[in-house]
Amino acid sequence: MALKFTLLFLPLLAHIVNSQQPTTFDIGKYGGKPNANIAEALSNAWKEACATTTPSTIVVPKETFLLNQLTLAGPCKAPIELQVQGTIRAPSDYTQLPDKNAEWITINYVDHLTISGGGIFDGQGKEAWTKNDCGKNPNCVKLPINLSFNFITNSIIHDVTTQDSKNFHVNVIGCKNVTFQQFTVSAPGESINTDGLHIAKSEGIYVLESVIKTGDDCISVGDGMKELHIEKVTCGPGHGISVGSLGKGATEEDVTGIYVKNCTFTGTQNGIRVKTWPSAPAKLKITGLHYEDIIMDNVQNPIIIDQEYCPWNQCNLDSPSLIKISEMTVKNIKGTSASPVAVSFVCSKTVPCENVEMGDIDLTYSGNQGPITTKCSNIKPTFVGKQNPPICANATQSS
């Protein structure tokens, strides 16, 4: 992983080293003042930096700034860095946003983008969470995502924090070769729909050495995802790392190459999860899921495939999911389950799960709801090493 990450950014590093030092664009020179809206100042600094033919750095100093809403767009003529040293705060009242259909901060069509600086993007979402009824109301108000990245390539976001988003913290769509490293997501466990990172229709995305605390999925994977590498991530509170939910859209694209390694889940609702909707039109395939060297600390559902995902009774369980899950490995998973069902594989009756391999599972349960057990339907995994508890007792065994 380290070698691949280094190789990925060698061209960018060489370009910077062999060029003159980046030109600095401090938002203070564009009228940006602490405790005031910096949308215009940051926009003007971006436009000038983006037009520069040598590397540039936009600096948000170590102060607290307000920002009502902003879209930053490329393509830029050279590598560009947004260095946030201070705190940028969104309006607590989402109705104050100029464009009710847009996200808080959106960045589009940029190659060789860096976001760094140790600062905080504060979505101030507490008020919005109390008004979020999207689980029950299909016509609910759209709440803004903190950071939306669209069609970003060969880029890195590191050493910054996204905090208390009103909706997802980060949305990644149509991106390629993008790394989140030493990235922090911070929101309370009771915050609604505050996924840490939602990543879809992208390729070659890395989430490394990061801490995610939130009220929903730490990382959620949407359709069209290829080659997602998640390593040394700490998740909790939250709902775990989820592929899906998938299946509701008829045109959803295949998901392949998801790697989760050396991660820790603490007090989460789920650990590693795949979820697809029944009675849904999509027929995509989910292949190449690899989970390895993972610690579960008091996790409600440590390992789960749920192809009957149907929150708030929004679907018909009589029509099984049409999504095929195959080529999945789960190896060296250790720790504690907060429920007696440590492993739950509920696969589709129509297209059962295939080629699932389990190796060296060691999970314990110390509660009073009965002995530790597993639940399996429409799956026959193969096994290597030891399994504690015994998984899918009637499944086939390999030597």
Active site residues: 239
What phi and psi, each to the nearest 5 degrees, are found at residue 297? Answer: -120, 100
Instruction: Quote the longest CA-to-CA distance of the chain.
Output: 70
The residue whose two tokens read 């990644």 is 172
Distance CA 374, CA 368 (A): 16
In sequence order, the 6+-apart residues with CB closer than 8 A to the CB of 259 are: 228, 229, 230, 231, 290, 292
> Can you spell out the DSSP letters for 223-290?
TT-EEEEEES-EE-SSS-EEEEEE-SSTTPPPEEEEEEES-EEES-SEEEEEEE-SS-----EEEEEE
- Using the Cα atoms of residue 233, residue 144, residue 199 and residue 331 in order, give the sign of their dihedral: positive
Which one, of 170, 168, 90, 97, lies nearest residue 123 by Cα?
A: 90
Comparing C-alpha atoms, which of 257, 262, 254, 258 is closest to residue 235? 262
The answer to whether 33 touches 58, Cβ cutoff 8 Å, is: no
Question: Looking at this protein, which amino acid is placed at residue 31?
Answer: G
Torsion of CA 206, 196, 199, 154, to 10 degrees: -40
Cβ-contact 362, 286 below 8 angstroms: no
CA distance to 33, 39, 40, 116, 272, per residue, from 29 (Å)? 9, 14, 12, 20, 47
CA pair distance 341, 302, nearest whole angstrom: 9
